[in-house]
Chain A
Amino acid sequence: MNNLAKQGLASAITLILAIVLYVDSFNLPPAAASLPRALAWIIIVLSMAMFAEAWYKERKKAKVNQETKEPIRIIRVLVFTSMIILYVALIKPLGYFLVTPLFLIVGMAYLKATRLWKAVLIALGFTLFCYFLFVMFLHLPIPMGLFS
């Protein structure tokens, strides 16, 4: 996706968000609706301005040499993000003690961060550290799932 398309998408999303909230504000009593309505207008104007700005810059850039960016590993970011979402989704039903070390080991193995035995050691150590800090020491709740 090129830069202009990205900016266009962002503008469109904020624009839609502002319109939805603007329409929803008519369900509110007048005092509660006044500030959100003003803000919605500002967002509408700015999101269009942002697109205009991007469009203008894109045209100018066509003449100037585009600087080459260091390539990033998009697939890896996507897989890692999915792992985070999976981790959050599973921590409640399965529990902290199962999912946390698993996430750390699989995560580090996938990223080839370090040797496997080290990854296992770090994962177990850090899981225990957090448990002691939050539960034993600060008496805070963490999701225990199967272990409760």
Chain B
Amino acid sequence: MNEIMIGLLNVVSPFNLLVIASGTGLGIFVGAMPGLSATMAIALLLPVTFGMDPAAGISMLASLYMGAMYGGSISAILLRTPGTPAAAATVLDGYPMAQQGRAGKALGVSLTASLIGGVISSIALLTIAPVLGKVALSFGPVELFAIAVLGITIIGSLSSGSPIKGILSGVVGLMIALVGMDPISGTPRFTFGQMYLFNGISFIIALIGLFSIPQALRLVEKDDAVKKAVSSIKDKMLPTFKELKSMIVTILRSSVIGVFTGLIPGTGGDTACWFGYNEAKRFSKEKEKFGTGYPEGVAAAEAANNAVVGGALIPTITLGIPGSSATAVLLGGLMVHGIMPGPTLMTEHSLITYTLIWAVLLSNVFMFLEGLVLTRAAVSVTKIPNLVLAPIIIILCVIGSFTINNSIIDVFVMVFFGILGYFMDKINIPTAPMVVGMILGMMLDNSMNQSLLMSDGSWMIFLRTPVSAILLLIALISVLQATPLFGFIKKRLKKTTI
């Protein structure tokens, strides 16, 4: 208890507050840039923290992570270009809202949901981290396989228009993910002798292409003569109490999903936003509104990805197991500061650890305040004429995708996916399922092969483990829910109860 209080006192020193505030602001800014993900931002700014004391340095990186998770939604909403992979699901409802002239509201909902998700995960981090940390270890290949299968059912619910097209898009996404070196057999797969493909097709590169290039092309399809719905700046940004009340269940559910997705090593914000979105849709009474500019869709995705921050930090500080790729870089940062990442963080280095935890909690507040200021200004992006915006989006995508691996081939791949995305759009094949497929492909294949190696090829291994059996059952229900059979049973049940 004592360390907790000292940590709090430590964090409220003026210098630490400044560090957290600038870290968060920077995170928002960098997160809004396509191509610059939270992981990359942390890796880039790691050297900046070398001169600070460890507690301040690590706090800065963590608040950067928090800020970036919100920042990604700004460009997702205003430009239909997710700033970070974790904001991909935000596009689905955020951009339609902006088109309807409610960009300010969309950003306000995103900010509020991010705040609640972030605070909940920070509180979980502060209070029940040691208990939750153990969860991270209970996820082995068998459980990860079940999560991947559950994730794949999201593909079905994202393809409401035409299930055939949606599932096709998702399966092609899974297939694309399998290109590259297979770590289980140590053989290159579908690389056709191309060294570039050994590394697989980078998910973030494809994501930038699939979402942003088609958007730029759509902007030049028509003249500006058609007046755009311009968001009024005076329009109330933050959701009203009534609106918040209607979304709070979704936000809380997404926050819990985010914390758990963060906990599990190997899954992070990019997965959590889809799980959050999918569950919100599953439990909603107005399923058909999702994807048409429904604030709850934005809230579901954004609460989940900010809740990942606290969730991913839980196994990081209790066990030294990074819960996401961003926290893996954070652990590397600790080492440079002479702190051995691992279970000793909670004991030997408890002061630094508790300062970090408080910093994460405080960064939410800064994120909210800075978000309010920045967002109000960012809405003015909607006033830029479409035809000016289109080439600017292209530049951001090209530079963003180049800097990720310093590779011009990546940029060509990005443009290729962009043109692909444009054609998919023209014949009404949704791109979102392809993105989900690309996220989950390798996880599905690796965990399946690892599990089958353990069980000598017996598929029963997936049903013998309780966690995986339950997750697979939920997946089965999700699939059945989409079939006419389920509606029939539901109807019958209702009748019999009456």
Contacts and interface: CB of A to CB of B under 8 A. Distances in A.
A120 interface: no
Interface of A: 3, 6-7, 10, 14, 17-18, 21, 24-25, 28-29, 31-32, 34-36, 39-40, 42-43, 46-47, 49-50, 53, 70, 72-73, 76-77, 80-81, 84-85, 87-88, 91-92, 96, 100, 103-104, 107-108, 111-114, 119, 122, 126, 130, 133-134, 138-143
Contacts, number: 155
Contact of A111 (B187, B220, B449): B220
B349 interface: no
B221 A72 contact: yes
A34 to B, nearest CB: 8
Contact of B164 (A28, A53, A107, A122): A53
Interface stretch (B326-334, B364-372, B422-430, B487-495): B422-430
For chain B, the bracket of interface size reads: 35 or more
B395 A113 contact: no
Contacts of A142: 399, 402-403
Secondary structure dominating the interface of A: helix
Contacts of A32: 182, 184-185, 187, 189, 449
B168 interface: yes
B213 interface: yes
Given A32-B187, A50-B168, A122 B388 contact: yes
B172 interface: yes
B352 interface: no
Given A72-B222, A81-B217, A88-B415, A113 B164 contact: no
Given A50-B165, A87-B394, A108-B387, A77 B399 contact: no
Interface stretch (B7-15, B60-68, B80-88, B406-414): B406-414
Given A6-B427, A80-B390, 16 more contacts: A10-B429, A21-B175, A32-B184, A36-B178, A42-B167, A43-B168, A46-B164, A73-B220, A77-B220, A87-B398, A100-B395, A107-B390, A108-B388, A113-B388, A114-B387, A138-B44
A28 B167 contact: no
Contacts of B167: 42, 46
Given A84-B394, A88-B412, A76 B36 contact: no
A25 B191 CA distance: 11
B400 to A, nearest CB: 9
Given A88-B408, A133-B33, A24 B391 contact: no
A29 B188 CA distance: 10
B476 interface: no
The 5 residue pairs across chains A and B that have the minimum distance between CB atoms = A113-B387, A107-B391, A46-B168, A72-B221, A140-B403
Nearest to B391: A107
Given A47-B168, A108-B388, A80 B220 contact: yes
